[in-house]
A and B are shown apart, each in its own frame.
Chain A
Amino acid sequence: MKQILIGLVTGLLFGAGLTISTMVDPQRVLAFLDIFGNWDPTLAFVMGGGLMVYLPIYYGVVNKRKTTFFSTPCDIPSNQVIDKKLIIGAALFGIGWGVSGICPGPAMTNISSLNSGILVFVIMMLIGFFIGKKSENLRFLQ
């Protein structure tokens, strides 16, 4: 029950941040990505604001305790290898983001508008997750 409540509160905060920051607006994302056009730097402030909170608390608290406030271990990835999978996956993600102006968080937060384009994006993204999962062991990704 505690976990469910924490999930709900952090999800609400996260979604509110995406909405307030205008990250949910694909037009603004595309204007940020258009560095050779009429560049709109707004989204750099979203990332800046996020890191301004996350980084100091991570190093000040999480990295020292290594456990949560409930004394359970923090689940921090230990993989340090920059491999083909990481780079090819990130490159494909960037192309999809550049085509649409939408990444996973804003896609989910836009669902309540019931905009047909958003619903198509989300359905295809979910299909993409499962295709990606199935493709992970392909030889060209190793």
Chain B
Amino acid sequence: MNEIYLQALLGGALIGSASILLMLTLGKIAGISGIVFESLRPGSTDKGWRWSFVIGLICAPLITQMFGFSLPSNIEAPLLTLGIGGLLVGIGTKIGSGCTSGHGICGIGRLSKRSIAATLTFMLTAFGTVTVLNHLV
């Protein structure tokens, strides 16, 4: 098998391990959009572990780079594009109750009907958006 596929599978298994560990210890769904939002929302309770989770998420590359896995240095899309993307991702994940992690891993991982529907929907509109941007305009 192609080496990059193996690397992706291993990384994915780490993501799955982190997520199930969070469920087995704190009983929480590892949905990044929800964790980040609840760590900032005024009035939300239980902020402590959410803040430390976010700090872990941000600091992780500082550790993996010692083993040769670093962050991409080629993020060069126009700021306007990234700004619009970020805004839509924020609004959409809040209204839709989750993102790739919460719906795609934790939700499908417990065969939730809502998460399967959400994942199919965001995959479809993401495939559609890239197809339109790359091949139709």
Which residues of chain A are near B105, meaning CB under 8 Å?
47, 50-51, 54
A132 touches B8 (CB 8 A): no
How many inter-chain residue pairs (CB < 8 Å) link A and B? Answer: 478
Q: Do the beta carbons of A14 and B60 come within 8 Å of each other?
A: yes
Instruction: Name A99-123 residues within 8 Å CB distance of B.
Output: 99-105, 107-113, 115-118, 120-123
Residues of A within 8 A of B100 (CB): 97, 103-105
Shortest CB distance A67–B (Å): 7
**A136-B95 CB under 8 A given contacts A3-B48, A6-B22, A104-B36:** yes
Nearest to A138 among chain B residues (CB) is B95
Residues of B close to A19: CB separation below 8 A: 11, 60-61, 64, 69-71
Closest to B110 in A: A58
Interface size on A, residues (CB 8 A): 114
Chain B count of residues within 8 A CB distance of the other chain: 108
Please indicate the chain A residues that have their CB under 8 angstroms from the CB of B71 in the complex.
Answer: 19, 24, 109-110, 112-113
Taking CB atoms, residues of chain A closer than 8 Å to B33 are 104, 129
Cβ–Cβ contact A90 & B118, under 8 A = yes
The proximity string for B residues 82-122 relative to A, scoring 1 for CB distances below 8 Å and 0 otherwise, is 11111111111111110111011110111111100111011
The digit string for A87-102, where 1 denotes a CB below 8 A from any CB of B, is: 1111111111111111
A115 touches which of B59, B75, B96 (Cβ 8 Å)? B75
Residue of A whose beta carbon sits closest to that of B12 = A49
The 8 A CB mask of A1-41 against B (1 = contact, 0 = none) is 00111111111111111111111111100100111110001
A82 near B117: Cβ-Cβ < 8 Å: yes
Q: Are B63 and A16 interface neighbours, CB within 8 A?
A: yes
Q: How far is the CA of A108 from the CA of B27 in the complex (A)?
A: 22
State the A residues within 8 Å of B (CB).
3-27, 30, 33-37, 41-43, 45-55, 57-59, 61-63, 67-70, 72-77, 79-82, 85-105, 107-113, 115-118, 120-133, 135-136, 141
Given contacts A25-B72, A59-B110, A62-B20, 17 further A-B contacts (CB under 8 A): A13-B18, A30-B130, A42-B5, A45-B9, A57-B24, A61-B24, A68-B27, A77-B29, A90-B119, A99-B88, A105-B101, A118-B82, A124-B84, A125-B90, A128-B90, A131-B87, A131-B91
